[in-house]
Amino acid sequence: MKRLHAILLVLTLLVSQAIFANEAETTEEGPIQVIQSTIVKLNQLTTGTYSPQMMNFLVEQEIVPLFDFDYIADEVLMVANTSFGEDEVKFFSNKLKNNIMGILLNKLAQAKTSSFRFISARPLIGGNIMVRLKVNGYSPYGIYIDLLFHQSKVKKWQIFDVVLNNDSLINYYQKMVLVKVRRYGVYGMLGRI
């Protein structure tokens, strides 16, 4: 009888391993893999010596997909208290993408030696994750940057906010939108952001 239980236990384990292996192949990347991949991609971008064309290619292919620019645009435009059409939100999302990636490339080019080192990760309310990285090369002590990840509408883990020195990317652009809406109106703001 013990032998039969042992055989059934082994068969159960084999079947469960096969099922879990099959599920692992079909599921998307989890947050841990995305965070590790993000750090590797950022370090690859900062440690290589690339031509401007190659740098732009790497940013478009490796860095841009890490961000959920549509979510960022929705959060930023929320403060304008105006209903925007899908084309306007997409236009704004592309403007944000160009601004953020341009600033990122500019800052990386200014650093003498920069690298990103993982410090910590912690869960946030709503199933989001905050990852703290130390950026070496900008000051003798380095600076800390927080990347906030969430599962986007397409069920991918993406960055939805970046916090540097307690200043959130979304909060920064929300303040900018409010100022530009007061000064130029809603459609003037879209052209000047």
What pLDDT, in 10s, does the model give residues 96-115?
A: 999 988 887 776 666 555 68
Contact 97, 64 (CB under 8 A): yes
- pLDDT confidence tier of residue 52, bands split at 50, 70 and 90: confident
Domains for the chain: give ranges and CATH numbers. 29-192 (3.10.450.710)
Instruction: Provide the pLDDT for residue 113.
Output: 57
What pLDDT, in 10s, does the model give residues 14-34?
A: 444 444 444 444 446 788 898
Range name among 3-7, 72-76, 89-93 with the lowest pLDDT average: 3-7
Given a cut of 60, whether residue 76 has pLDDT beyond it is: yes
Does residue 186 sit in helix, strand or coil? helix
Residue that is written with structure tokens 């939100």 in the block: 89
- pLDDT confidence tier of residue 50, bands split at 50, 70 and 90: low
pTM: 0.77
Q: Which two tokens stand for residue 152?
A: 């986007």
Specify the higher pLDDT residue, 31 or 172: 172
Residue 75 and residue 73: Cα distance in Å, rounded?
5
Helices (H) and strands (E) in the chain, counts: 7, 5
Instruction: Provide the pLDDT for residue 18.
Output: 44
Residue that is written with structure tokens 């304008």 in the block: 80
